[in-house]
Amino acid sequence: MKGLRKIFILFLVIFYFLQVRNYLVFATEVVDRIVAIVDGEIITLMDLNQRLKPYLKQFQGRILTDQDKKIILKLKKKILDQMIDDILIKKVAEKYKLKVSDLEVKNYIDKIREENGLTLDEFKKQLKLQGLTYKQFYNKVKDDMLRNRIVSALVRRKVVVTDEEILNYYKKKFKQSMKKKFCLKIILLSSKGKAEEVYQKLKKGNLTFERAAQIYSIGPYKNGDLGCLNYSDLNSSWKKVLANLKPGEIALPFEFQNRWVILKLVKIKQESAKPLKNVKEKIRQEIYRQKFVKLFNEFIQKLRKDAVIDIKL
């Protein structure tokens, strides 16, 4: 028995070792190699893994599932694309002689650090917890600032939002999206015959709708008040019944979910749109964002089209 127990424990140790090795090999390959060449400039697997490291923390300490592996592979491809874009943008910066000084980077990092109430040592410790060295963070900030400068010079300045575009957006998104509410009263009945009997009494004015609901209605709506409902949320059969009904009118009985229903349309409430002046800036920002994303993607695609890129991931 002791011998079998030792073999079993050895099996578990080997199994655990293989699973951990499986995680390390899949998530971050240890053998360095070239994963992309961009106009003669190389990106190595080590470079990619370094950028990937902060994103892998969520997978540490567990056996990778097939879904985990798909997510990691997708991350690798996304980050590699970003690294390729960074190289292309740097080449544009060199072409136009755009630079970011070390003082600008330092001042920016100091501002972030001071806003969070951290000393330089404390800030470095926080970076370490995220799997980054200060130098890596510094270089990343510098790259981001350079990217922003290039984008501002070559893309952002082309984005123009006119008052006409704002007005058209307002009419389409705000006015058309206003919700129409139908305020209803309801009587629920168990049979078609009873529904027709009650409907005739209502039409002749022998009973008010409210009184009829109190006497005849089954279920939770004894007072008949259904409240105001969004027209878009109503069942299609209800919409059909209410289509030609005017406020104050009573619909013909109809069957719904094994019950017979009589509806009264009390009133129709139309939500008023917010004044244009109250949402103009919000609309402007949204149009600007959409235009900027489109132009930026076109800018990157043109850079990629004009470059020689060989991906070996």
Question: 268-285, pLDDT tens digit by residue?
Answer: 887 777 788 888 999 999
The b/e string for 123-158 (b: 16+ C-beta within 10 A; e otherwise) is bbeebeeeebeeebbbeebbbebbbebbbeebbeee
Picking from 111, 78, 98, the residue whose alpha carbon sits closest to that of residue 145 is 98
97-111: average pLDDT: 93
- pLDDT of amino acid 176: 58
**E runs forming strands in 39-164:** 41-44
- Whether 21 has a pLDDT exceeding 50, the answer reads no
Question: How much of the chain exceeds pLDDT 70, in percent?
Answer: 87
Residues 77-88 have pLDDT tens digits of 999 999 999 899
Out of 253-262, 272-281, 289-298, pick the least confident.
Answer: 272-281
The amino acid present at 313, given as its one-letter code, is L
Task: Supply the DSSP string of 243-304, one letter for each residue.
Answer: TTPPTT-BPPPEEETTEEEEEEEEEEEEPPPPPHHHHHHHHHHHHHHHHHHHHHHHHHHHHH
CATH 1.20.1740.10 corresponds to the domain 179-270? no
The predicted model gives 207-234 an average pLDDT of 84
DSSP bridge partners of 263: 186
Q: What is the pLDDT of residues 118-170, one digit of tens each?
A: 999 999 999 888 778 899 899 889 988 988 898 888 899 899 999 999 999 98
Q: What is the mean pLDDT of the chain?
A: 84
Q: Which pLDDT does position 177 carry in this prediction?
A: 56
For the chain, give every domain's residue range: 1-84, 179-270
Long-range residue pairs from 235-238, CB within 8 A, at least 24 positions apart, any chain:
238/263
CB under 8 Å to 118, separation ≥6 — which residues? 126
